[in-house]
Amino acid sequence: MMGARLPKGRSGTAAACAAILLAVAVSSPASAQRRDPFDVEAREYLGTRQSEAAVQKGLNFLASRVQPDGHWNSAHYNADAAVTGLAVLAFLAAGHQPGRGRYGAFLNRSADWLAESVQRSGVIYRGGSTGPPMYGHGFATLALAELYGMSRRTDLRRKLETAVRLITQTQNAEGGWRYQPQAADADISVTAVQVVALRAAANAGIEVPAETIRRAVAYLKACQNNTDGGFSYQINQRGSGPARTGAAVLCLYLCGESASKECKNGVTFLQQHPISKYEWAYREHYFYALYYCTQALYQVGGKPWTEWYTTVRERLIETQAKDGSWSDNPGSEYATAMAVLTLQVPAGLLPIYQK
């Protein structure tokens, strides 16, 4: 069972969040890999043999770009914890694990690299990185949580606990996080990745204070625009966008808030702003938007999921380069990891992807 803590006497949102965290057990990697993605009973799995081939080509590209010590660079993001965390997650999402199979050797090194990147303060960061520390920390913590859940390496547990403690200690007065590992201002993007990382850590049995989740949920809800149901970058801003709306909706689902008006209005916003009609709105942060909107709409299920995923799936298949990569401003390694993660959402091999 997961280790979220509910303070005595608490109720309402905190209780709901803690209940949902406590209710979901860690999924067995062995049982996950036995799932046949082409089983006709897996009705929400909309992958095709073409998309599966695209995933394999993408993984081969990432495997060709891994550094000897197990980390990845992407464009000017050198030794960046976020890029390495996302690349590791791409392999885990396709059913690969450290120490096993064709990718097992370097995934072991990647796990070691992430663990060794946890500083004494708790932040997961390398000195040469040019990315915002808390972005890297969030994605790297998510990767460590999934790695620990699959391997149960005791050294990873200690590192993961330290990383989670850093997140809880740097939450600001509004309930969010921003670029630096300190309680200053906040934005919805950095906040979302911390929330997902905390949920993954709780899935793996790490204690996550319910009060931290309650305050984060309050921050996310405060970023919603009442005019259209979308979510803005920060509180008191009024610029809705699909990428941040997808991130907020996913977090609300993960925290047991799917029945809230904020979550429902966010889903409506996504349905009213499909990528086929609002291409420009997605292009600003393209792979980031695909990553979060796909996870959010998978949680929603039904027609919204079917319409979204079939469109995105074909787009990714068509835009993959011959070498197996995808391209975006942060670099091909980043874009390829995000594309693989997007395509693999309905396979459910990552515990964080499961409903």
In tens, the pLDDT along 221-232 reads 999 999 999 999
Q: Does residue 38 surpass a pLDDT of 50?
A: no
Q: According to the model, what pLDDT value does residue 24 have?
A: 35
The mean-pLDDT minimum among 4-18, 245-259, 300-314 falls in 4-18
User: Each residue of 21-35: pLDDT tens digit?
Assistant: 433 333 333 334 444
Question: What does the domain layout of the chain look like in residue ranges?
Answer: 44-346
Q: What is the mean pLDDT of residues 303-313?
A: 97
User: Each residue of 115-171: pLDDT tens digit?
Assistant: 999 999 999 999 777 778 999 999 999 999 999 998 888 999 999 999 999 999 999
- Say what percent of the chain tops pLDDT 70: 88
Q: What is the mean pLDDT of residues 170-185?
A: 96
Q: What is the mean pLDDT of residues 236-246?
A: 93
Q: According to the model, what pLDDT value does residue 130 have?
A: 75
| Chain centre distance of CA 138 | 9
* Tokens, residue 66: 């891994």
Q: According to the model, what pLDDT value does residue 19 have?
A: 40
Q: What is the mean pLDDT of residues 205-230?
A: 97
Q: What is the pTM of this model?
A: 0.88
Asked if 149 and 95 touch (Cβ cutoff 8 Å), the reply is no
Strand partners of residue 231: 224, 241
Q: Does residue 178 surpass a pLDDT of 50?
A: yes
One-letter amino acid at 119 equals: Q
Q: Does residue 290 surpass a pLDDT of 70?
A: yes
Q: According to the model, what pLDDT value does residue 43 have?
A: 58
Q: At what angle do helices 210-222 and 13-23 cross, to 10 degrees?
A: 120
Q: According to the model, what pLDDT value does residue 9 have?
A: 32
* Tokens, residue 124: 């997961």
Q: Which CATH number fits domain 44-346: 1.50.10.20, 1.10.579.10, 3.40.50.2300, 2.60.120.310?
A: 1.50.10.20
Q: What is the mean pLDDT of residues 73-87?
A: 94
Q: According to the model, what pLDDT value does residue 41 have?
A: 38
Q: What is the mean pLDDT of residues 245-266?
A: 98
Q: What backbone phi and psi angles, to 5 degrees, belong to 243? A: -65, -50
The mean-pLDDT minimum among 148-152, 194-198, 347-351 falls in 148-152
* Mean pLDDT estimate for the chain: 89
- Say what percent of the chain tops pLDDT 90: 81
